Chains A and B, each alone.
Chain A
Amino acid sequence: MHIDETEKRWVWITIIMTAIMVGVLTAYAVGSNVHPPSGFEPIDSTRLHVEGEFMEENLGVKTNPDGSITLTMVAARYGFYPSSIEVPVNTPVKIRIASADVLHGVHVPFTNYTTMVVPGYVAEVNTEFQKTGDFSLLCNEYCGLGHDHMWSRLKVVEKSGS
């Protein structure tokens, strides 16, 4: 077995480089609580409109007693419901979304809000919008021939009373 000295040094360099990258990611995950969507919450996608939090009258923005926001949405071909949303800036937002039909994805460019929306499972993301303005919610997972047309608006506004 022969491994050259220079090569050994390179192996150590690559291991240290990789360890630094993983270390930084771990530090952010643990230290700043930066995580991708998490959980395992099965839901019957065929009955969203019949019962529970994803019924039409329960969708939209709700302010919780502690001032945080819960936003409940449904993704269905080819739109996000409710289709127009207004949330305050710099406020913790819990976004719960479920699919009524096929696979969807949602991405609001230039924010941290993105998740897959998988039929049969609730997708929950906790985030905060840090800039005011008009944003677009774009479906980013192929959901059928009308996929391109699946988008809606998100308005981030100043906090009321401030």
Chain B
Amino acid sequence: MATTTASMQENLSESKGQHSVSLGLANFWVAMIFLVVALILGVYQVAERSGFFPALESPTLYFASVSTHGVLMGFVLTTFMIMGFGYYAATTSLKMSLPGKGFAWFGFWLALVGVLIAAVPLLTGNASVLYTFYPPLVAHPAFYIGATLLVVGSWVWCIEMIWMMMIWKKQHPGEAVPLVHFGNTANAVMWLWTTIGVASEMLFQLIPWSLGLLETVDVGLARTLFSWTLHAIVYFWLFPAYIALYTIMPKAIGGKLFSDEMGRIAFVMLLVFSVPIGFHHLYMDPFHQAGWKFVHMFGTFMVALPTLFTGFTVIASMEIAGRLRGGKGLLGWIGALPWKEPMMAASGLAMIMLAFGGFGGMVNASYSLNTMVHNTQWVTGHFHLIFGGTVVVMYCAILYHMFPRMLGRQLYSKSMAVKQLWLWTIGMFVLTIPWHVIGVLGQPRRISSTPYDTPLVQQWDVHEGAMIVGGALLLLSGLMLVWNLLKTHSAPQEASAMEYAEPIHAAPRVPHLLNSFAFWNVVILIYIVASYGYPIAQFFLNPTFGATPWGV
């Protein structure tokens, strides 16, 4: 008995080393700690904005809080979560250890130091420019420099993912790269293309300008560069959720993946169509011709396709599992699914939120319809539902699935995990349905109070009240997540392997184009030059007037 335990321990520590467990855990814990901080700020913000608590009212605190909340949720939670997921998924699916482990740790520390550097001006109100930067409002240079270090840290992860795919392909000539790693590498490649926009804005505009090296920046150019990053970044966040739906969920619920190839097609489409469509964030900006906005609208609708394909494959995979478990009839398989499994509950809930959020997204993407909702609370409601809802609920499921396997222990409480996921989803709907409604009722986004003399203000009140309840439910749910995973560190030992879903039709070999990114990189380059080339060049071909820095 003693020897068995000892050898189990040995196996476990060996697998921990090979699978870079400590690197994965470090990334996951950083993500979760900042998630909780951001949730607390979120509750303060809904309460402050409602106007029900006069003692809370303070635009200074509010906008410092919104800026911090946005940076933590959008940049920090996501980046660390994606890095942790990628490292653990890559080492377990490719069955190889991480090359250049020290380099990967360097990326982690660089990103973390960047966050801490940016946190100082954020928390002291010296970077209340929101996470989208909004020049000519200027923040302390430390904010821009810290944010840039975070992005540079994430590039290390991108290089690691691509590097691992190259090593694996060399060792397995002609074989299909496991879907999970094909997805993570697609995300890494996409992120490198994506960050060119924001990195250029930072390095050539905001950092030198905030340091006083440049007198002015062209705000039109800055916004155009940011739009380059602004839509693809949401696919960077979304990728791990889709990857988990394709490659982890079917196995976790006792079924098979409906189609491996469709997953590859969806990942390639997301990669190609995410970056060159950013102008739907600039529909209302005055410095681009409507024709360019129209061109970007086409691409924006194209990027809906991989999501619609994914919806089908994911639901079909669920149906296979439901029928294998004895579910009968047209819809009887739904009830037969293992809803008490966190991965199942999260996947089902994520799909529901994706359906509603996707509908709202179609409105935003519409060349003309967007006029009605642009910069209203509708938009904030939309991205909270898609990102905070679909994406984060899948992040939670990934954590519940990977933590026990990384630690070689049972999950502290499965039922608490399932309750947490439901609570998160309910909280998200209670928060975002009213949020969409007040948007349609005309409330602008990014306000800390509503001192307008229009009767609309009274119509908004009831919705603001509901949003406070939603925010509180989300905070409670977030704390349950952290508690459960913290306790998992000392839960009873149980070794279970990290396994990935098998497709019904095994795909040991796939077409070259679905197993490599070289060709797609050329396509992306051509597409980006076509859609962004002239719109960026116009700022250099014509005389324009820059803006000097303004305090908030």
Contact = CB atoms under 8 A, between A and B. Distances in A.
B219 A141 contact: no
Interface string B141-183: 0000000000000000000000000000000000000000000
Interface string A105-121: 10101101011111111
Contact of B446 (A25, A109, A147): A147
Given A121-B219, A140-B445, A145-B552, 15 more contacts: A7-B258, A21-B301, A36-B284, A36-B293, A36-B370, A40-B287, A40-B538, A102-B547, A107-B444, A119-B547, A136-B454, A141-B134, A144-B137, A147-B447, A151-B451
Contact of B444 (A3, A39, A45, A138): A138
A10 B309 contact: yes
B375 A141 contact: yes
Contacts of B301: 18, 21-22
B366 interface: yes
B539 to A, nearest CB: 9
Interface stretch (A27-35, A49-57, A58-66, A85-93): A27-35
A32 to B, nearest CB: 9
B453 to A, nearest CB: 7
Nearest to B280: A36
B452 interface: yes
A43 B544 CA distance: 7
Interface in A128-150: 134-136, 138-149
B452 to A, nearest CB: 5
A4 B368 contact: no
Interface in A93-111: 101-103, 105, 107, 109-110
Nearest to A35: B290
Contacts of A40: 287-289, 538, 542
Q: Pick from A37, A40, A45, A142 the residue with the most CB of B within 10 Å.
A: A142
A89 to B, nearest CB: 19
Given A3-B259, A102-B550, A105-B284, A145 B60 contact: yes
Q: Pick from B308, B368, B552 the residue with the most CB of A within 10 Å.
A: B368
Contacts of B220: 118, 120-121
B316 interface: yes
B466 interface: no
B371 interface: yes
Interface of A: 1-4, 6-7, 10-11, 14-15, 17-18, 21-22, 25, 28-29, 34-46, 101-103, 105, 107, 109-110, 112, 114-124, 134-136, 138-149, 151, 153
Contacts of A35: 290, 367-368
B56 to A, nearest CB: 14
A91 B69 CA distance: 44
Contacts of B326: none
A153 B449 CA distance: 18
Consensus secondary structure, chain B interface:
loop
Interface stretch (B105-113, B397-405, B505-513, B517-525): B505-513
A42 B376 CA distance: 27
Contact of B368 (A28, A134, A141): A28
Q: Pick from B286, B288, B313 the residue with the most CB of A within 10 Å.
A: B286
A45 B313 contact: no
17 contacts: A3-B261, A6-B316, A14-B309, A15-B305, A18-B308, A25-B367, A36-B290, A37-B285, A101-B136, A102-B136, A102-B137, A110-B442, A118-B286, A120-B546, A138-B442, A151-B452, A151-B453
Contacts of A118: 219-220, 223, 285-287
B545 A39 contact: no
Contacts of B219: 103, 118-121
Given A141-B446, A145-B59, A145-B60, A21 B286 contact: no
Nearest to A19: B301
Interface in B8-65: 59-60, 63
Nearest to B130: A142
Contacts of A29: 294, 367-368
Interface in B99-147: 128, 130, 134-137
Contacts of B312: 7, 10
Contacts of B416: none
Per CB-CB distance, the 6 closest pairs between chain A and chain B, nearest first, are A109-B442, A123-B286, A38-B290, A140-B444, A140-B375, A14-B308
A138 B450 CA distance: 10
Nearest to A36: B283
A46 B75 CA distance: 34
Interface string B514-552: 000000000000000000000000100011111110111
A9 B371 CA distance: 34
